[in-house]
Amino acid sequence: MPEPKEWYSLPIRDKKRRTKFLLLFALSVGIFWFAFGTFWGLFSLLVIGLVLLPFYTKTHYRIEEGKIYIKKPLYVLEKDLSYYKKVLKDRYGLFLSPFKKSTPLENFRGLFLQVDDESLRDELFEYLKGVIEGGDKGES
């Protein structure tokens, strides 16, 4: 049985430029609050806070025994690696696709794993490529 792979992602720590835009956006909410009143200011703050929740909270990832567990602040997602057929790598992480060929549905049915560390991203890519595309399904 392979060693479990585990990591976490906290985008607000690693993406300084986006954090600056977030602060500017928060400032615009303050202006909205001032211009339109307390109710709409609180409402917009609540909506923005919920939409950006993954940006300023930790997401824990764990791969073991042919499954992937994604622990977010409000829930835990558990998926079988056998569902996925292809692994793609980009500069923000890895994308697991349920299709062998690219399709328009890929973005809606796939799973994105945010990996900020480049060396870890390469290691996970090779591991998942072997498990998913190599037919290994997590057992060695």
pLDDT 10s digits, 103-128: 888 878 899 999 988 999 999 999 99
Q: List pLDDT tens digits, range 42-92.
A: 888 888 888 888 888 899 999 998 899 999 988 999 999 999 999 999 888
Pick the CATH number of 59-133 from 2.60.120, 2.30.29, 3.90.105, 1.10.150: 2.30.29
Query: pTM for the full model?
Result: 0.77
Non-local CB neighbours of 97 within 8 Å, separated by 6+ positions: 84, 85, 86, 87, 88, 106, 109, 110
Mean pLDDT of the chain: 85
Do strands 5-9 and 59-64 pair parallel, antiparallel, or not at all (unpaired)?
Answer: antiparallel
Nearest residue to 133 (alpha-carbon basis) of 91, 76, 90, 89: 89
